[in-house]
Amino acid sequence: MKKNLHIFVIGFITVLYPLLAAAQDSVNDLHSIISVPLANVHEDSTPKSRVKTQVLMGDVVRVLEKRDNRYRIAILSQGKREGWIQQEAVLDLKGNAGKYLSTKRQWIVITTPKSEALIFDKTGNHKVSLYAGTRLPVLQKTEKDYKIQFPDRSVALVHAAAAKPERSSDPVLNDTKPEEIANTAKQFSNVRYLDGGLTSQGIDMHGLIYITYRIQGISLEPDRTSLIARSLHVSKKDLEPGDILIFHGETEGLFLGNGRFLQTTRKGTVHIVGIYDKRFANALQYGLRIIGAGPEEKKRPADLTADEILLAQVRALKLSLGKRIAYWAGRFIGTPYDPDPLGLYVRTKRIIADERVDCMYHIFRSVELALSSTPDEAVAKALTLRFISNGKLVDGLVVNYDDRFQYGEDMVVSGKWGKDITATLGKTASIVGSRGRETIDILPKSVLATRSVQKKLQDGDIVYWVKDPKKRSAEEIVGHLSIIRVKSNKIYVIHAAGDKDRLMKRGGGAVKEILLTDYINTMRFIGALVTRFQ
């Protein structure tokens, strides 16, 4: 055991060291910081050149060049975007960079478009404006205020209602809801257009998108190419609040829901328009979904290296167990369905066969990854969970797959796959059982469709879909399995949806996510059993 732990620690350090080193380099190297509430960043060194963007107090920058009283800088929070700024706006933290910028400190972000901070210094108390998206370290929190520290080490008070603790930038851990993005953006309604602007003093569309997401802890690079690279494409019919709309030409928008979106126009203001208006209906190409859509999150498990799986597991450990199960189930979305009647993993005697999955393997693997902190531990979990007794490996291959759980109802009864919560969710009905069980209590389809039952479902719940006794071709009661994921108060099922190869007819499909209500309306099953890991 100690040897395995030693190997894990060495492996973990090997994987994380480059990331930790890079983070330390960023603190040591990028030790200049914006010390004024708001500053323009110009295209070239002449004061009258075009404003490319703006920076806020606390933004970390690298000074690349000095010319007269101006600096050419690279802005870390904007993808190292470069431009020219007045020298007086930039403070060199020198050897104190690591201490001031330490991630161990509590940080807040200003959430209202414009608020006032009361500064205490030698010249007396006075107020300074702070703009939405400004992030600063906290010295003390009271019921009404945050005591914060500015880059020049001066201390100020800001009303608690104008700020909130900074959210994690990790897409796995950031729990921002789509409606939060929309509500944040709506605060900027009627703000005048300003090319390169990103505050209530003036803003353009790129600035509105950037600052709206920044308030929620999500850092975006402000150009379209970068947005597309890190996002999920969504069709017009699947848009959710907070999605970024891409139109033909240079136009973007921020979707609010109910067919409405925010837009800015030159010589105009931030205003609400409709996607079905004549001038937009044919111009809208698609939406971009940022939340949870980091590039590494779009990789399916089959495409992940062991080191990448390890990092994903370590990050996901900060989530609750149910959310971890739903997270890993979601990582399989788009994975081809396994049409092998026996199952690819059984046919090849492998524990890991992520390239093609059927509904049972999808459940197996999602839960095993969620319950473990390393890839090797996930294999150990598989040898315990997938089998009625325990799995056995010889030269890396399973030699007793006949002892595996082949029937979903056996998983429910075993207790290995969570607690059976079927009866706690709603009124059950008894149907004819099989394989030694005279009857079995299930949630009927009509009960599952009720709002009261669906409100009780949680991330990571496993749903075992039950066949009509008259349509059973074998002894099994359960004909399909899926995992629950809750998003924006809506209940989804993630499942490997497809058919096995049978009677000269080729099967196929993929792992999909669908609203539970839609699935219930179209499914061929009469009800379900539900288990939950606690």
- What CATH architecture does domain 31-97 belong to? Roll (2.30)
- State the pTM of this model: 0.69
Coil, strand or helix: which one is 361?
helix
Contact predicate 133/211, CB 8 Å: yes
Burial of 446 (0-12, 13-18, 19+ CB in 10 A): middle
Look up residue 248 and give its two tokens: 């033909």
| Predicted confidence pLDDT, tens digits, the chain (534 residues) | 434 434 443 344 344 434 333 333 343 445 799 999 999 999 999 888 999 999 999 999 999 999 989 999 999 999 899 999 999 999 988 766 678 888 889 999 999 999 999 998 766 678 999 999 999 999 999 989 999 999 988 999 999 999 999 998 776 778 788 889 999 999 999 999 999 999 999 999 999 999 999 999 988 886 788 888 878 888 988 899 999 999 988 789 999 999 999 999 888 999 999 999 988 888 999 999 887 655 556 789 999 999 999 988 998 898 999 999 999 999 999 999 999 999 999 999 999 999 999 999 999 999 999 999 999 999 999 999 999 999 999 999 999 999 999 999 999 999 999 999 999 999 999 998 887 788 899 999 999 999 999 999 999 999 999 998 887 777 789 999 999 999 878 899 999 999 999 877 888 999 999 999 999 999 999 999 999 998
In the block, residue with structure tokens 């971890």:
324
DSSP letters, 252-276, are EEEEEETTEEEE--TTSB-EEEETT
In the block, residue with structure tokens 């569309």:
205
178-296 matches 31-97 in CATH topology: no
Which residue, 464, 469, 494, 492, is CA-closest to 479? 464
Which residue, 261, 330, 339, 337, is CA-closest to 291? 330
Q: Among 3.40.50.300, 1.10.287.110, 3.90.1720.10, 3.40.190.10, name the CATH number for the domain at 178-296.
A: 3.90.1720.10
Which residue, 496, 507, 520, 498, is CA-closest to 365? 496
Region 102-165: CATH code: 2.30.30.40
CATH class of 302-532: mainly beta
- So where are the chain's domains? 1-30, 31-97, 102-165, 178-296, 302-532
